[in-house]
Structure formats: structure tokens, C-alpha cells
Structure 1
Amino acid sequence: MKALLPVLFLLLAMSAKAQTFQSPESVEWDEANQRWLIANTDDGKILQQTVGQSPADFASGCTQGPYGIEILDDVVYANDGGRIRGFSLATGTEVFNLNLGATFLNGLTTDGDSVLYATDFSGDKIYRINPTTSAFYLLTSSLPAAPNGIIYDAANERCLFVNWGSNAKIKAISILPPYTVTDVMSTTLGNCDGISRDQYGYYYVTSWSNNRLNRVSPDFSGTPTALSTVLSYPADIDIKLDVIDTAGVPNTNSNTVVYIPLASSAGIDNEQLPESSLHFFYNAGSETGIVDVVLPMHEEITITVHDLSGKVVFSELKTPEFAGKNYFELPLGQLTKGTYVLTVQQQNWSASKKWICQ
């Protein structure tokens, strides 16, 4: 058995080796396993990424995707050309494969119980699928524009979906016969790709025309508000619900995925995050500090530490891995006892925290 251990460790390392994003198309937060799943379209895989870590392989086998991905029970489903595949969350092995005969399945959502809804981008259609029985049928087959991202709206017994093209409207389709399609909101956005909803009822839509994540009020009044983070052909999104919600956004053009804190949805401006977004621990034994911070933008930060007299005892530029939660280790050296102030600053945002060195 001892002779086999090195081989087993090598196989485990190979199976979990770091990967790179290649035309990431869709993300999904996996609450049970505390990770993001990312549809990596160019290599036919779904990747997994835990906070602060590099992406790694999770599932493979898609031949014309994956595009939209969605978790239902213990399976993540993926649009793959004209079919939907399902992969076990526990093992990543394929456990479902259903050919709908569609042209180009793109957006995917679930009612959280037993049903999936999928958009056919090229066929201008929306499907209803029961993965338990493999039964499926069309809700509509004559949409005026190419439907893209889709989300289930239980309170109103409908699905909301965004569309391709200029001045793209947000539309809804009833999940009850006769499956009526209605306009919910007119916009000046173009080529809308993804739509998701935070815990406060705000909707978020990605658009290729302004390369932004756009916030929409729960009642669809007013106009969309573009958030500050510049994106690069942002695709299908998901939101991790937390004290401060986080949107996972794949950038198809730049082969990146960014994680954007949605502080504004809780009544807080994105550029004035609360002190709770910044945590700090100083280890006198190792003379190092650990910074745990939620960043609104993926850009360089300056971290400074000063005492109450204003004397700067540490200052350093850092490059975060992404917008959202990041961790940094600071070589502070031996500090004298007293009160200090830690400040983390970006171009249009900063947060500070007092701490006592004892």
C-alpha cells in the first residue's frame, strides 16, 4: 500500500490541477460545496473555483458547450448545443443526457423543485424540461428576438429573460398555459446576455453594448443602473447570497471571471463598503498581518498602516486576484504596543479599520 501512495497523490494532483478560463460563458454558485462552477466553452469543461483559489477541472464531455449551467438538487445541468447534460456535484461524472433537438441552447434556469427552463438562442424558443422523467416541450417557438439569459420568478409564475440585439427588452413568459410572452422593461442596452436576482429583489443584467453589470429595480421602474466595474463581453451570471451579495461574471472576451460585491443592493453605495468588508489579524510571533477584504473593483490597491500620530509604519501596492473577497499577507515586522489604523484604498474606494497591538 505504501508503494501506491505516491501514485495516488500524483493522480489526485493531476485531477485537481489548475486550469485557465477559455471563453467562460456561465457561472453558478454551488452553496452546498461553497464554490463557483464555470462553463468553460472552448474546452468543453465545467471548472470549479473556491474563493481565493485558481480554477480546476470539475466535469468534461460537452461537445458544443457548455453554455448556460444550473444546479438542481445534486446535479449541475449544462446546455450543450441541442442537448442538456447533467453532472453529479459529488463526482463530476455525467448522469444525464437529453437531446431536445434544439438549435443552440443558451440560458438555463430552474424552479428549484423539478423543472428546468432553457432558451434556444438561434431557434427563438423556450423549453420546459423535467429531468426526472426526461419529458420536455416548447413554451413558445416564435419569439421576435434571440432569447439569452433566463431566470425563474416564482412569485409571478413566470420566467424572465433577456435578449440579443439593440435596445434589448427584458421580457417574461408565463409558465402556465397559454404561456403568454410580455414586455417587462424597455432598455437602451444591447446584446444582453445574463440575468440574475439578489436577496433584496434587484435584478442584474449583463450587456455587451456597455460592458457592464446593470442593476434593475425589483419592480422594473426607471432605467438600469450600470455598475462601475468595466467588463469584457460579460455573459451568463449568478449571485452568491451573503451579508453582501456577490455576482460572479464571466468575461467571454478577456477569458476572466470577476466577482463583484453588490453592496448597493443592501442600501449601501458600492464605493462606500462598510467596515465589515475589511478584517485584519496581526501575528506578533511571525510579525505578519493578514488582510481579509471585499474589493468593489479588480484594480491595484494600496495598503497602509499608521499609528495614531499619523506615522506610516507600512505601505505597499498589491494586485488583487479579482473583485470581491481577497486575502493579503503583510510583512509588518515587530510593532510596538499601541493602536494602529489599517487602510485599504483603490482609485474610488477605501476602507479603514483600527486595531490594537498588545
Structure 2
Amino acid sequence: MIAWRAFMAGIPGALVSAVALAQSLSGPESIEYHARLDRTLISNIYNGDIQVRNAAGTLGLFTAAPTAPYGIELLAGTLYVVDSGHVKGYDIDSAAPVMDLPLSGAGFLNGITSNGVDTLYVSDFSAHSIYSIDVSDPGLPVQSAPVSTGTETPNGLAYDGRGNRLLIATWGGNAKVLGLDLSPGATPATLIETTLDNLDGIALDCHGALIVSAWSGCTSGGCLRRFNPPFQLNTPAVAIVDDLSSPADIDYDWVSAEIAVPESGSDSVSFHASGCEPALFASDFER
């Protein structure tokens, strides 16, 4: 059964005017759950901000510092943001800037994930490549040479710790999910061939199943689809939900076992049951 959470209409008037301006989403692109404070963070392309939504559904402003934020990723107390050719970092509690790395040779940077320890991975949609960035010290980040995805256009990214690989959602008709082994010298290979079009977000659930958001090629509108392991080229897609409006970069919330979806076409977010059980204690390495 689909679990929906409606947004509350307003923000208390006692809040400062900057927060009041952040009441509505505009081009929500990426969403991340922050378990310690039970809240979600949402990047907004057109507002040029990161908003925060609390458990009651109230929206507030985390930071208006970015210009056009796309993917966001929480790692070791820092919220990393893909923003106009840069990867920026903000302290998760104070929103103070801690990193601003312009990626050399970048085209259109889009998705981001991490290995949960010290490395970020960023997709370059237009240059068909994947960057890795060592953020052991966010004040001194180190960019590695990008890895090409060939003719495939990379979008959303997810890290598969069990396989020490990166999972890559691709854009286009009959879109593919690629796997990139993270050992030196490896190149991406097709993991799953889908009948979906324009994959955007990608995540792994509690069973190691792969969940993607697709803009089209669904039963109706945009959708979420699950692919259960072990993965093969023709692994069938299992329907989770249809009629989504341009679903972008998703997140799987281990605590609620819901999939959080920014719907960029309707300036909203929605939450959907994954089929997993909620976790009382969840891995919180990235928060």
C-alpha cells in the first residue's frame, strides 16, 4: 500500500523571512533522509536552495547558498551538493560551508553518492563520465581522473558495498543500469537492460534489491520499479508505483522503509512503501 505524507501548508510566522520564502518547492531534484534529526533534505533547482522537511511535514530553509543544486549526499556530518560544475559541502547542523571544489573538465554534473567512508562519486550527464573525489579532509578534496561510461548517459548513482561497485542509472530509451567495479582500471558494464525510459534516481533497499525512478516507459506517467537480485540482463521489473510526475533522485529511508521521491514535475515529494520492514536501528554512517 502506498504511503503518502502531505505537506503542511505554512510555516509559523515567528520564523525569519528567509525561511518563510522556502515554504514551497521549485524543481525538487534530490532528497536525503537525516536519521539523527528525523528530517529530509531536498535540493531545489529553481529556488537555488536546500530545504529541510521535518517529521510533521513542515518545510524550512537549510541553506540558500547553492545556485542550482542537483544531487545531494550526506557523509560524515557534511551535506555534499552538486552545484553548477562544483561539488560543495555544508555542515549538516550549522549549514556552514566546508568545501567548494570545481571539478576540472566538468560538463553537466548531476548525481552523487558515496562509499560511506571517504569518497564521493559524481555523474557527468553531458560528458558521459563518473568522477571520484577523496574527501577524507573536506578542506583538501582530491579529484581523480573521470571514468567514461561510453555511449551511455549517467544520471543517478548508488553505492553497492557488498559488491564494491557503483550502480549507475542511465538516461534514454530502454535505459540500462550499469555496474562499475571500483577496483583500479575497471570500466562500466551493463548490469540490467530495462524497457523503461529515462532513469533518474537509483537506490538499494534492505534486501539488496535495486529500485529506480523512471520518467516514462511505465504503465502510466513516471514510476518506481524494483529489480530483485541476483541481477541479470533480463531481470524483470516489479511495479512499486505509477503516475509520478518526473520522479528524480530518490532515497531509501532505512528507518521508515519508505522510498522518498522528489517529483520535479509537480514541485512536490512523495513517500512510498518499499516492502521492507522499518528498522529500529539503521546504519547511520552517512549522517
TM-score range, shorter chain: 0.7 to 0.9
Larger Rg: 1
Deviation at 1:122, TM superposition (A): 0.7
Deviation at 1:162, TM superposition (A): 0.6
Structure 2 SS opposite 1:106: strand
1:125–1:138: 8 Å Cα contact kept in structure 2? no
Correspondence list, 1:238-257, <5 A:
238-242=251-255, 244-257=256-269
Choose between structure 1 and 2: higher helix proportion.
1
Q: 1:41 and 2:52 equivalent?
A: no
How far did residue 137 of structure 1 move? 1.3
Q: 1:93 aligns with which of 75, 78, 96?
A: 96
> For the residues of structure 2 that align with 1:93 and 1:229, how far apart are their CA atoms?
38
Paired residues for 1:65-214 under 5 Å: 65-101=68-104, 102-131=106-135, 132=137, 133-209=140-216, 210=218, 211-214=222-225
CA RMSD of aligned residues (A): 1.9
Counterpart position of 1:299: none
- Greater relative CO (CA pairs within 8 A, separation 6+): 2
Moved more, 97-106 or 51-60: 51-60
Q: CA deviation at 1:203?
A: 1.4
In 2, Cα distance between the equivalents of 1:201 and 1:215? 10
Partner SS, residue 32 of structure 1: helix
Q: Percent identity over the alignment? A: 34
- Partners of 2:51 and 2:96 in 1: CA distance: 13
TM-score under structure 1 length normalisation: 0.68
CA distance in 1, matches of 2:90, 2:131: 20
**Matched residue, 1:228:** 241
Query: 2:241, 2:167 → 1: CA distance?
Result: 24
Residue 52 of structure 1 aligns to a residue whose secondary structure is coil
Residues 149 and 188 in structure 2, CA contact (< 8 A), matched pair in contact too: no
Residues 42-100 of structure 1: CA deviation (Å, up to 9, x unaligned): 0110000012222211012222x210100011110010121101111111122110000
Contact 1:198–1:265 at 8 Å: present in 2 too? yes
Q: How many residues align?
A: 256
Letter in 1 for 2:225: N
Q: Which amino acid aligns with 2:82?
A: N
Asked whether the equivalents of residues 195 and 206 of structure 1 are also in contact (C-alpha less than 8 Å), the reply is yes
Q: CA offsets per residue over residues 135-165 of structure 1, 9 Å max, x none?
A: 1113413521210000111111110101000
Structure 2: tracts of 5 or more residues without a match: 1-11, 279-287
Q: Which residue does 2:30 correspond to in 1?
A: 26
TM-score where L is the length of structure 2: 0.84
Secondary structure, in 3 states, of the residue corresponding to 2:224? strand
* 1:217 corresponding residue in structure 2: 228
Structure 1, unmatched stretches of 5+, are 1-8, 267-275, 277-358
